Chain A
Amino acid sequence: MPDPPARDEDLVRRYLSGDRAAFAALVERHERRVYNLALRMTGREEDARDATQDAFLTVLRKLSSFRGEAAFTTWLHRVTVNACYDLLRKRRRAPLLERGEDDLPALEPPPAPDHADASSLSMDVQQALLQVPEDFRAVMILHDVHDLRQEEVAAIVGVPIGTVKSRLHRGRIALARAMGIEQQGRFSEDPKGPPAPGGSPGGAPGASRSGERADAPGPSEGTVSP
């Protein structure tokens, strides 16, 4: 892949040493990635807007303390994911009565169909994505939608690579179930009935989330950027 005209880290330095256009160049270069990551994480255009603004404002505020210990894009992705977590948390906390009626369907995604048929496959992938626990959703979006390498995802999310692999696999299964794809063996049918390795779409991944959090650093801005 050819090098971009100026490295991100050089643009950061140039902005800090008085080149006003350098920050605009950084924003222009990355806004599409940041916005789309936020859109997939939150599922709503307005939240994606807010998360994008929050992420870039955080970057702006902390730019002077960015020392290049992590790649700029890694840091930017982490800040964006954190902005999405914050926004989703606030949205959960907002009293239901304050919400507009027209927003209710989006806030309460339809339950996953409990049967597999052709029509359930047409269910909006984005809606299904919103039913996957956030930590798993983030890893899947970064890897399967944005094509980032597992090593980079691990650095962004702040977990070991083994955790990325496991979140990826469990997240995909949760997504498939949310889309109504049931577990029919490709090679054989299990006469005893299939075990439920991932539990319900939100269940097992959500349960394992707290366990992972206990011994692995969660994604927090502070651990990458001072």
Chain B
Amino acid sequence: MSHPEDLLADYVGGTLDERERAAVDAHLPGCARCSAEVRQAEAARAALSELEDVPVPFGVTGPVLAEAGRRFERRRGVAWGRFQWAAGLAAAAAFVVVVAVNIGGEDSQNAAAPERTTAVAGGTGAAGAEAAAPGVIPFAGLERQTDVNYDEAGIRAVATEAAGAVVAAEEAPGTQAALASTVQDSKERTSLARECVDQSGVRGPNDVLIRLIEARFDGTPAFIGVYSEGPGAGQTPDHIVVFVIAKDDCRILSTASQRIPSG
């Protein structure tokens, strides 16, 4: 009998019929190769059967359900205008608080933020429209750096790097400075991440997202949103603001800001 290879998986799984099983049983004692394979496969199957399910960690499907809710609301055509207006004000208010706590008084122009809120509240697609303006870095999508663990110094370095890129983009508008690394992600994950960052209430009315990184911050899975911020109305940005948002629940973990040197 030639080696009954196509029967061995079911032999080990115990699902052969009597006749086939008898055939394999008759073959094995005279065949070192098949009996060795059976022994290995049985050991592997036993080991696999001992792998037990683990509970799903908290918050894994939260962002998915949030996205489902958003899609649902969009489909239903709920009066989104009002929601966005309210959310925009809340975001602006939270932004001022964040700035006051974390950045101090150096950004006095932010105090006027709520007055400029309604025009841009809820807008997420600014990069395309403003890509041609000087000093604007086009947003390229979510960068996955899930194996990188940032600390405070790392976040400051991200801000400094972005400020340098904006200066480069101002000086040579035709050649956009490339900030994003090559590892990009799907549109779905990008919009999820953006919404998490937006939802955290950190985005100011004149902030333009130029970079979004999925990484860790002090060990916590996080999104890092890098914004250029300016007086708006097409004027060149004068600050970089970096927000670190927990991936789990979109809470703020850290911030950094960097003044963009004026040319």
Contacts and interface: CB of A to CB of B under 8 A. Distances in A.
Contacts of A194: 32-33, 36
Contacts of A50: 146, 189
Nearest to B55: A32
Contact of B48 (A23, A107, A125): A125
A20 interface: yes
Interface string A70-107: 00000000000000000000100110001110110001
B178 interface: no
Given A36-B54, A190-B33, A197-B37, A46 B68 contact: no
A35 B32 contact: no
Interface string B21-64: 00000001110110111111101110111110111110011011
Contacts of B28: 186-187
B41 A90 contact: no
Given A90-B144, A145-B49, A166-B5, A102 B68 contact: no
Contacts of A216: none
Q: Interface range on chain A: under 10, 10 to 19, 20 to 34, or 35 or more?
A: 35 or more
Interface in B53-88: 53-57, 60-61, 63-65, 67-69, 71-72, 76
A111 interface: no
A172 B44 contact: yes
Contacts of B211: none
Interface stretch (B100-108, B166-174, B180-188, B233-241): B180-188
Interface string A100-127: 1011000100000000000000000110
Nearest to B144: A90
Contact of A186 (B38, B51, B71, B144): B38
Contact of B30 (A20, A103, A188): A188
A31 B48 CA distance: 21
A190 B33 CA distance: 8
A179 B64 contact: no
Interface of B: 5-6, 8-10, 12-13, 28-30, 32-33, 35-41, 43-45, 47-51, 53-57, 60-61, 63-65, 67-69, 71-72, 76, 144-149, 181, 183, 185-186, 188-189, 192, 216, 221
Given A23-B72, A53-B64, 6 more contacts: A27-B61, A36-B53, A98-B181, A166-B5, A173-B44, A186-B36
